[in-house]
Each structure stands twice: as structure tokens, then as C-alpha cells.
Amino acid sequence: MAAADLGFSAFTERNQPRYTRYVTARLPVDTHVSAAVRSTLAHAHRHWDWLLSRPSLAADVWEELRYQVSRQADMGPPRDTGIVTLYSRLPESSADSVLLCRRLGLGIDEAAELMGLEPPAVEAGLSTARRALPYLDTGRRP
């Protein structure tokens, strides 16, 4: 197996479960969560060599995951209206920070790594959410 294939396999093994949790929270009931994750990972696999040359492979794949979610987001009743509110009232990166850190329980460092950001960017997203939606419990997690 080529080194690139091993790298992609490791990337998939590490991120697929977290991508699935994120997509499950974002997509309506009765949508094909696994299809969005599979499409994202297939895109990453097809473009793996190019992605390796990019400044942040994780950020580029995260953008593809967001795109896949956006394609299915209006296909049925929301799973959680609170999450719909987050994405309608906040910038996407702030909403993602709240979803990952507060709803899915990821630490700031893990959320940042998953989205291809630096931890201060996730902290800034949480601060933005706190200002825009003060009723949210977006305090810092350890």
C-alpha cells in the first residue's frame, strides 16, 4: 500500500466517526447521514495528493463536509431546532464551534483539529456565539 493510501486510511479512521456525529446532528431526520460522510471522504480520496499540498488538509475536507451537509439540510424536519437556530443566527464557523464543543462534547483543541483551525479560532467562534446568543451555555470546556 502506498504511503498516500496509508495516510488517507489513517485520516479516515480518525475522522469518520466524528464526521458522522456532526452530520447526524446537522441533518434532518430520515436523511442519509452516511451518504454525506461517504461523499466527503470519496472527494478527499480523489483529491488526496492535492489536499496534501494545501495549507490545511483538514480545513479543506471540513469545507467539503459542510457542502455535503448543505445539499441535504432542507430535506425534512430538523432533528433539533436548537441547531437550526445556531446556523441561522451565527456565522457557520461559530455555529460549528458551538455544535462540536457544546453539543457533541469535543474539547476546543479537538474541534479545532477537526475543522482545520487553530484553537483561538474556535474560542473566537464560541465568544461570537456567546455575544449573539447569550442564552447559550458556551462557556469554555476543559
pLDDT digits (tens, 9 = 90+) for 6-22: 899 999 999 999 999 99
Across 76-88, b (16+ Cβ under 10 Å) vs e yields eebbeeebbebbe
pLDDT in tens, 77-117: 778 888 999 999 999 999 999 999 999 999 999 999 999 99
Question: What residues contact 102, with CB distance under 8 A and at least 6 apart?
Answer: 126, 136, 137, 138, 141
**47 alpha carbon, distance to own chain's centre:** 19
pLDDT in tens, 55-65: 999 999 999 99
Separation between Cα atoms, residue 136 and residue 138, nearest integer Å: 6
Q: For each of the domains in the chain, give its residue range(s) and CATH number, in order of start.
A: 1-76 (1.10.1740), 80-142 (1.10.10.10)
